[in-house]
Amino acid sequence: MKKITIAVATHKKYQMPKDNIYLPIEGGAVLKKNHLDYIADDSGDNISEKNKNYSELTALYWLWKNNDSEYKGLAHYRRHFSDKKVSIFSTGNFDNILDRTVLEEHLEKFDIILPKLRHYYIETIESHYKHTHFEKDLLATEEIIKKLYPDYLDFYHSALKRKSAHMFNMFIMKDKYFNNYCEWLFSILFELEKVLDISEYSPFHARVFGRVSEILLDVWIFKNNLNFTEIPVMFMEKQNWWDKSKRFISAKLSNKKYY
């Protein structure tokens, strides 16, 4: 039996998967007075204080630094991998969350488990980001990659030009890949934090480092030519897709920021 830990990043009490491969982690615990009955991301080696800007990545960092499982991954309290064929338009069922048995079958064949691609169709990843957030985030990231990891630069440009990506910062990897990815990712984000002025960003846009990392995952995956499979992701709460679509199109046509 493989030693597997999938962190479930959360900021509130919520129904959690029953399978013991899942470990709920309270994000931004150091910023709170009242704590949840979960592992807190302010224990051990941590970046809990960065949660407002890094979102679920503070749980990812905690898992990287404080857990020695053979396979590690990240999910969210309201987004989970599924072992069933599911539609993103339907609300997820906790009975359909990916379990150990099915996951181990995947891990016998693949190095990495990723979500199904999220397609934007009328937007590239770059144009969608510019319409939603701020172009300077991407430009600053480009300069850091050029400086620290120049052999990744072409893959960064390629990821920005695609119309689909593996989003949500969700994945499951063998520990050597997980460790390599986290080392690479956080070295970039910590440099980005030094040069990017977010003092006037709204709380929504201030989660910039968590959003940039969604783009960086594919950069790292494709640069290293890793063997992966894609499986569905379930949204555990009802989604207002009509409202999301209206805001998405409005951002593209009227340059009004999507949020």
Query: What structural domains and CATH numbers belong to the chain?
Result: 4-254 (3.90.550)
- In angstroms, the CA 151 to CA 107 distance is 28
Residue 96: name the closest of 238, 241, 235 by CA.
235
Average pLDDT over residues 39-53: 98
pLDDT-based confidence at residue 87 (cuts at 50, 70, 90): confident
The Cα–Cα gap between 143 and 140 comes to 5
Structure-token pair, residue 86? 């599911």
Give the integer Cα–Cα distance in Å for 213 and 59.
14
User: Is pTM, for the whole model, over 0.85?
Assistant: yes
Q: How confident is the model at residue 51 (pLDDT cuts 50, 70, 90)?
A: very high
What pLDDT is stored for residue 88 in this prediction?
76
| pLDDT tens digit sequence for 130-173 | 999 999 999 999 999 999 999 999 999 999 999 999 999 999 99
Q: What does the alpha-carbon distance between residue 51 and residue 11 come to, in Å, rounded to a whole number?
A: 10
- pLDDT category, 5, cuts 50, 70, 90? very high
Percent of the chain clearing pLDDT 90 (strictly above): 88
pLDDT at position 90 is 84
Q: What angle do CA 54, 58, 62 make, to 5 degrees?
A: 160
What residue type is 20 in one-letter code? N
Q: Minimum mean pLDDT among 3-17, 85-99, 227-241, 242-256: which range?
A: 242-256
Examine the pLDDT at 95 and tell me if it is beyond 80: yes
pLDDT surpasses 90 at 254: no
Cα separation, 212 vs 208, in Å, equals 6
